[in-house]
Amino acid sequence: MLIDNAHSMLCLDGAKVMRQEVKGEHIALLTPTQPEDEALFTVPLIIPVYLSGSGTRQLLLLLDSGTNVPFLYDPGKYLALELFVRTPRRGSSIDGAQRTFAVLPPQDVRIGTVICHQLSFVTLTGNSDRHASKIQVDGLLTTRLFRRVYISYADRFVVLEPW
């Protein structure tokens, strides 16, 4: 599958014809452990990333075409939040409930050899444990950050083309 944000196109490639045309680093998709209490209908697209503020700690982010901002579930686990000044903002989440969010200071994000400079992540303030994903990931990374995203489900890799 190819998500071409520059041309607002989605291309399905069951015959792997586009694969030969897509240039760039093949970033391996990680396979999550299955939650005990529920079955997964699809295999999520989990990629390993490194944030400039998290040192050498690898984070696992869910590549998501349905979100419009990069999101971290519990940034206090790997970022020194006491150094950050967070400005809370109120907004509605997908379930319509009002939530308080904070925009974290920009981070450089490295995915393989691809570097996205100065991305601002959003996080929930207060008790965010009950809103965290049942899949063991640290957050979400929107596909809108990239000009094109090629996803090979069968071969378990993605190719990310920055803007």
Max Cα distance, the chain (Å): 50
If one counts the domains in the chain, the total is: 1
Residue 163 maps to a domain: no
- Which structure tokens are listed for 57? 């700690």
pLDDT digits (tens, 9 = 90+) for 56-109: 899 999 999 988 899 999 888 888 766 555 566 776 666 777 778 888 889 999
What CATH number did the domain enclosing 72 receive?
A: 2.40.70.10
Question: Which residues is 124 bridged to in the sheet?
Answer: 101
Closest to 32 in 3D by CA, of 101, 134, 113, 123: 134
Residue 111 maps to a domain: yes
Question: Which residues is 3 bridged to in the sheet?
Answer: 10, 149
Q: Which domain holds residue 81?
A: 30-142
At residue 101, φ and ψ (nearest 5 deg) are: -115, 160
Tell me what pLDDT residue 40 has: 62
Whose tokens are 């939040």? That residue is 81
Residues 6+ apart with CB under 8 A from 57: 50, 78
pTM assigned to the model: 0.83
